[in-house]
Chain A
């Protein structure tokens, strides 16, 4: 069974204080690992897809990296508008296009 574990559950940072969110996964052959951002009362918004170990993707202050067992979402010099819940999900090669999600990390950036 595919599993995704995200840590920490919640993280509070001062504005400008860089940090990383972790996503550990177990999957029977990884086809893709996805990061989403979710604001309160909204649906998840797609951020990145990573396909193979060593791959990195960047968008503004966010950088996602991937190893064979985990992914990190690095946040550099965050701003209050980066406050959100960040979700990680995996898609296996065999599973009929069904993603498995982690429970997310709730990030709060304090001005």
Chain B
């Protein structure tokens, strides 16, 4: 199994509070991704990173920011959480040569 750890795995927070989700990898892969998964929408890309300090937006990036200061860590921040950001968040990594993604176990976020 790919070495990907997401934390926290579960979080309940209130509207307007900041939230940070962490993804840690031990594979030394170049590419890291944050997806959200919602019923009826499937997996949608929020942000991704193609190297340390190199990030780009996905299709649902509004309300989210990311940072990658080390190869192994990719942080997703909700500056001011809203109920529409209640979702399951998945981190994924890729070496980039074959395009295959390997996913973490997910972080379930509930915004009340």
Q: Which positions in A face B, CB cutoff 8 Å? A: 31-32, 34, 36, 41-46, 49, 87, 89, 91, 96-99, 101-104
Contacts of B105 in A (CB 8 A): 42-43
A45 to chain B, nearest CB (A): 8
A19 to chain B, nearest CB (A): 21
A99 with B106: CB separation less than 8 A: no
A32 with B102: CB separation less than 8 A: no
B102 with A98: CB separation less than 8 A: no
B90 with A49: CB separation less than 8 A: no
A104 with B94: CB separation less than 8 A: no
The secondary structure that dominates the B interface is strand
Stretch at the interface among B13-21, B37-45, B62-70, B77-85: B37-45
A3 to chain B, nearest CB (A): 12
Inter-chain CA distance A32–B50, complex, in Å, is 19
B90 with A44: CB separation less than 8 A: yes
Q: Which positions in B face A, CB cutoff 8 Å? A: 31, 40-45, 48, 50, 56, 58, 90, 92, 94, 96, 98-106
Contacts of A44 in B (CB 8 A): 43, 90, 101, 103
A93 to chain B, nearest CB (A): 10
Known contacts A44-B90, A97-B94, A98-B45; A31/B50 CB under 8 A: no
B96 with A43: CB separation less than 8 A: no
Residue of B nearest to A85 (CB): B42
Can you name 24 A-B pairs with beta carbons within 8 Å?
A34-B99, A36-B103, A42-B105, A43-B106, A46-B100, A46-B101, A49-B100, A87-B43, A89-B43, A89-B101, A96-B50, A97-B94, A97-B96, A97-B99, A98-B48, A99-B45, A99-B99, A99-B101, A101-B42, A101-B43, A103-B40, A103-B41, A103-B42, A104-B42
